[in-house]
Structure 1
Amino acid sequence: MSKHDPRRAAPAAHAARRLFLRGGTGVVVGAALPAWAAPAAVPAPGDAPPVYPTRLPAAVSMDYGLSYGMISGSGRLTWQPPLAGRYQMQLVGRALGLQLIEWTSEGGVDAAGLAPWRFTEKRLGRDPQVAEFRREAGRIHYPARPERDVPLPRGTQDRLSWLVQLPAILRADPALQRPGRRIALFVSGARGDADRWEFEVRDAADGLLHVRRLPPPSAEVQGEAWLAPGEDLLPVRVRLAKDGDVLEMRRRG
């Protein structure tokens, strides 16, 4: 039998998949980019985030190394600016020869920047989860959890699109890049979880712009990103944490 015979690889892949499905660390990897769900925080009247001007980046595909505890793998982030009024964005994460996650954000552009229509989260061994941004009705709808539907403020992003929306805001207004400045976004996942994310610009290091989510008492997911000025301020590093669990993505190449 050949050294690279696929019949040998298949049992290993199957065993790895069982690890993810029975509740091992790999399940968290699939869940943590980031899929932790919390009750949606309904924005109070007058408390919706401000609307910022934006300057969207050019099309790009970026490769990352991915780590979560003892698990390491790779990720690819693809961004396609609006064509015929529609943008597309995707993040795929792999480890142990398996595709753990596939996130897709698609939508349009309005005066507040990216305007997601649909966010889909696929994880290994789990049913796909979806958030529908119903702009005419002014609601975010979660088909799997309709009881969690929430209002849709202008400028709302999904758990993937904020990685482009935030750089687009900073590019449009360089004054916001100064340390101590803050940017607020309303961000929704695909599981009925939506909340106000407020980012603060921190002191830059290694020529990168460091932005970190301020942790309000109710925050479930903490996040920070390091943005590259020479690459349309797109993230070269992303760090997400919850209850001591840390997921990190670092740009390769």
Structure 2
Amino acid sequence: MTEQQATPRSVLVTGGNRGIGLAIARRFARAGDRVAVTYRGEKPPEVADAAVSEGFLSVRCDVTDSQQVDRAFMEAEAAHGPVTVLVANAGTSNDRLLVRMTEEDFTSVVDTNLTGAFRVTQRAVRGMLREGHGRIVLISSTAALHGSAGQTNYAASKAGLIGFARSLTRELGPRDITCNVVSPGLTQTDMSAALTPDQRRTLLRQTPAGRLARPDEVADAVAFLAGADAGYVRGAVIPVDGGAGLGH
């Protein structure tokens, strides 16, 4: 059973319309938090026909646009109060071998995955400093830790989140604002569903658990880092990868 929050928090999850992001948003909502999710394309299933449904606020936002980020926060704050929990999950991939990768292929992925996380985190921290507390969780990937052929852009952007989180941890010092990273491995999402059978078998052979992660398992790690019991966990990288990274 999910433990209910004594006082509902204002939570913002970027890229919360499907997969891992949606599982994270549902996890917070079940705990009684007020949850806003951003989406760039289709709305989350819960809010396909209404702006607010089942505790969710749906906000259209492209994290590569600072003005849209600011509007998303203003909508969330107007509905739920100051955002004190941010999960930067919005991401994209555009896989190609380096010799075939264009500069646009590289920079567009970095702009969404890394600079997008910078935009939303910077906006969130301003409010958290005023509130005197906050929790920030950045969603990385095992590709950041051990690399992945054809994903130099993706792996670089996800690795950058780790340095970003640890540097921000030093900036925030003794304040009650934490910044941590969750690094999922192969997870049951649309991205993994697009793999060929051979690709899937290869990846599973590299995963000691022998199976894909469930989005809820990633959400549980995020919920812990965002909770009161993780106040002394700062600048950490939590792998949820079935052992694929083996601590790297």
TM-score, structure 1 length as denominator?
0.29
The structure with more strand, counted as a fraction of residues:
1
The structure with more helix, counted as a fraction of residues:
2
Larger radius of gyration: 1
TM-score, structure 2 length as denominator?
0.29
